[in-house]
Amino acid sequence: MDKNYLLTPGPTPLPPEICQAMARPIIHHRTPQFQAILKEVSEGLKYVFQTSSDVFILASSGTGAMEAAVVNLLSGGDSVIVVEAGKFGERWTEICRNYGINCEIIKVEWGSAVDPSEIERRLKANPKTKAVFTTLCETSTGVTNDIQAIGQVVKNSAAVLVVDAISGLGAIDLKSDAWSCDVVVSGSQKGLMLPPGLGFISLSPKAGKLMEGAKSPRYYFDLKVAKKALAKTDTPFTPAINLIIALAEALKKIKRDGLENIFLRHKKMAKATRAAIKALGLELFAPKAASDVVTAAVVPQGIDGEKLVKTMRDTYGVTIAGGQAELKGKIFRIAHMGYIEEFDIILGISCLEKVLKQMGYSFELGSGVKAAEEIFLK
């Protein structure tokens, strides 16, 4: 079979109008034509980020935007709190340490969400904390953290709340302003339905103040320079022009669909996927904090998890994700994020059933698909 279906937590499939936008002849970035697009996407991003603050667009992957958050807020020797509930939480620590920042780490068991009261405790114990680094959806474990509750805790401290929303933004709810998220970081290849290559970062006034004193060395990711440029509807360096043109299309689609409807669709797809996993007799990896953008399931006893993912992809063209780092071979992950709809989930579950059956796992054929159909029928 040579048709490809993508059910991975980034990149996610591209709507046809976005593919077509990517193919347009290039235009120059210092023209009224491009400035009009830059203005349009700057407004559209505020809608998706649910913020009135500026959202900066970087020519980088999401990790570049994470680094931008660290270097624009902090100086070497500063102290921060990092929530590590998976691989992407650990990335915050790695970046901070490379810049000489002291990290107080809240280690959360992989598969669980952080307890907001633990953040409160640590903030009280470390009153000099300048920032709290968190992850909206920890893609590596399929967990969503309760950012709203965390925002309640952090807003009463001197620290700013930084949220890695690379996975999740535009797919599940994140009210940047209402939930007191000072810095929200994202990327293009997830909920925004674009190819990878754009990073995004928003800064609240509280974060803007912190930026004034930040001494970490930086150039490409310097948001003070980006801020001056944005005020003139410009970018400091050559932007990723055609990705930004495609972003305009993505934002139009998101506005047309409506954020609330998009969130509901993701909730339903997640519910159906979880129901299917359970109907197949499989165990959810994160039953208490399961994310609405990616479902992680435990590979059953006696089944080779890496082979399962590989066979689905290389033999049947259905790409899901395996486990990362310590979870390699132990879990598999089905994403339901971005330009994915219910019948994409059905085909993914069907392919999972086929390969599990071929690998000798015992269950009633069709039971996963049926469980998902029941959810979608409601």
- Which residues make up the interface to a copy of itself (CB under 8 A)? 4, 6, 8, 10-14, 19-20, 22-29, 31-32, 59-64, 66-67, 70, 76, 94-95, 98-100, 187, 189, 195-197, 216-222, 236-243, 313-314, 319
CB of 100 to a copy of itself, least distance (A): 7
CB of 25 to a copy of itself, least distance (A): 6
Nearer Cβ to a copy of itself (218/307) = 218
My answer on whether omega of the bond before 239 falls inside 30° of 0, hence cis, is no
Q: Look at residue 3 and give its three-state secondary structure.
A: coil
One-character DSSP codes across 143-178: EE--HHHHHHHHTTSSSEEEEE-TTTBTTB---TTT
Surface-to-core class of residue 102, CB atoms within 10 Å of its CB (0-12 exposed, 13-18 middle, 19+ buried): middle
Are 102 and 78 contacting, i.e. CB atoms less than 8 angstroms apart? Answer: yes
Nearer Cβ to a copy of itself (219/378) = 219
CB of 152 to a copy of itself, least distance (A): 30
Residue 326 one-letter amino acid: E
The 3-class secondary structure across 82-120, one letter per residue, is: EEECCHHHHHHHHHHHHCCCEEEEEECCCCCCCCHHHHH
Closest to 234 (Cα-Cα) out of 62, 28, 22:
28
Q: Which two tokens stand for residue 233?
A: 């509807």
CB of 59 to a copy of itself, least distance (A): 5
What CA–CA distance (Å, rounded) separates 195 from 62?
12
Nearer Cβ to a copy of itself (25/302) = 25
What CA–CA distance (Å, rounded) separates 49 from 259?
10
Nearer Cβ to a copy of itself (3/378) = 3
CB of 240 to a copy of itself, least distance (A): 4
CB of 101 to a copy of itself, least distance (A): 10
E-assigned strands of 251-346?
A: 294-298, 318-319, 321-322, 331-335
CB of 212 to a copy of itself, least distance (A): 16
Nearer Cβ to a copy of itself (218/265) = 218
What CA–CA distance (Å, rounded) separates 44 from 46?
5
Tokens 């990705």 -> residue: 243
Q: Which two tokens stand for residue 1?
A: 């079979």
CB of 166 to a copy of itself, least distance (A): 9
- On the CB side of 155, CA atoms within 13 Å amount to 15
The count of residues in the chain is 378
CB of 68 to a copy of itself, least distance (A): 9
CB of 236 to a copy of itself, least distance (A): 8
Nearer Cβ to a copy of itself (8/129) = 8
Nearer Cβ to a copy of itself (94/341) = 94
Nearer Cβ to a copy of itself (70/150) = 70
Q: Which two tokens stand for residue 27?
A: 């235009």
Nearer Cβ to a copy of itself (61/367) = 61
What contacts 1, CB < 8 A, 6 or more positions away? 315, 316, 317
Nearer Cβ to a copy of itself (94/283) = 94
